[in-house]
Amino acid sequence: MAALIDLHCHSTISDGLLPPEELVAHAAARGVKVLGLTDHDDLGGLAIAREAAKRYGIAFVNGVEISVTWKRRTLHIVGLKVDADNPALKNALAGVRDARDGRAREIAAGLAKVGIADAYEGAKSFAKQSIMTRSHFAQFLVQAGHAKNVKTVFKKYLVKGKPGFVEHQWMSLEEAVTLIKQSGGFAVIAHPGRYDLGFVNMHLLMHEFRGYGGDAIEVVTGSHTPPQYDQFAKIAHRFSLKASQGSDYHGPGLSYMEMGYLPDLPHGCVPVWQDWEEARLLNA
């Protein structure tokens, strides 16, 4: 059942390789029956993806992945079943996208200091008309021969302490959760295993998130290991949070996991989709 539900993926509207309609077609070919498109800080692909999902018989869920600053760390909060026409959400995300361009120029300036020229233009060639993310810089750096693959690029150039790292102030955790909830959505902490928070900060994050009205954490996701599935299932239970899942698919060569390959949630998890109409259709 789990492989049929994918609530985290990206199209060319942010840093995925496939346009929204092709992403939906790919999901359908992999057997996905409930799909959430969660582009970074952008709702622009939802209408196209929803129409494509109708053609393929997929139940579609409006989504977004919002960048958040918490204790000087960048976290991602996924919003599921959000109202794509909500004015407050749309305006806030437009502000985040404007700030992304400024960050991209700072990243390029950092890379220039170590002899990598024209990184902004190179990343822009991959982003095309979409917002610029670190993944676009990673693709450019691989193409230019500075690393063998995208994962290596991040470790060598784009994480804290490296030349392309830029400390940026994103939206607050409270603001992101509030915007998602006020738009009728479900707030989910994306891939918590990637944040290297330690025991104390991880539990503090969960406590704050729950206090702001957060709903769930991603327990099964592309970048988690099997032991982390159980770890975050226990954390979800401890903080009375539901469990979500998603491949975090970006496209061939950019993804930890292929669509349609998600394992089941660990026993005892309460799925975030438990009471959704989309889930009832799946079980019909």
Does 163 fall in a domain? no
Let me know whether 87 and 109 are in one domain: no
Q: Residue 10: helix, strand or coil by DSSP?
A: coil
Let me know whether 86 and 196 are in one domain: yes
Q: pLDDT (tens digit, 9 = 90+) per residue, 94-143?
A: 999 888 888 899 999 999 999 999 999 999 998 877 778 888 999 999 99
Rounded CA-CA distance 90/167 in Å is 24
Say how many Å lie between the first and final Cα of the chain, rounded. 13
Contact assessment for residue 41 and residue 13, using Cβ atoms and an 8 Å cutoff: no
CATH number for the domain harbouring residue 106: 1.10.150.650
Contact assessment for residue 168 and residue 75, using Cβ atoms and an 8 Å cutoff: no
Please name the residues in contact with 198: beta carbons below 8 A apart, sequence gap of 6 or more.
none
Q: pLDDT (tens digit, 9 = 90+) per residue, 32-63?
A: 999 999 999 999 999 999 999 999 999 999 99
Q: Give the pTM.
A: 0.87
Does 123 fall in a domain? yes
Most confident of 71-75, 137-141, 237-241: 237-241
Q: pLDDT (tens digit, 9 = 90+) per residue, 127-186?
A: 877 778 888 999 999 999 998 888 788 889 998 899 999 888 899 999 999 999 999 999
Q: pLDDT (tens digit, 9 = 90+) per residue, 241-275?
A: 999 999 999 998 777 899 999 999 999 999 999 99
Torsion, Cα of 143, 122, 163, 256 (10° steps):
-50
Q: pLDDT (tens digit, 9 = 90+) per residue, 200-231?
A: 999 999 999 999 999 999 999 999 999 999 99
Q: Identify the pLDDT of residue 100.
A: 84
Does 80 fall in a domain? yes
Domain-ending residue, one of 158, 182, 209: 158
Domain-ending residue, one of 110, 133, 158: 158
Does 164 fall in a domain? no
Let me know whether 221 and 247 are in one domain: yes
Q: Identify the pLDDT of residue 253.
A: 79
Let me know whether 58 and 183 are in one domain: yes
Does 64 fall in a domain? yes
pLDDT at 280 over 80: no
Q: Residue 36: helix, strand or coil by DSSP?
A: strand
Residue 133's domain spans which residues? 94-158
Let me know whether 140 and 76 are in one domain: no
Let me know whether 180 and 231 are in one domain: yes
Q: Identify the pLDDT of residue 283.
A: 66
Q: Identify the pLDDT of residue 2.
A: 65
Q: Per-residue b/e over 183-194, b at no fewer than 16 CB within 10 Å?
A: bebbbbbbbbbb
Does 24 fall in a domain? yes
CATH number for the domain harbouring residue 181: 3.20.20.140
Number of domains in the chain: 2
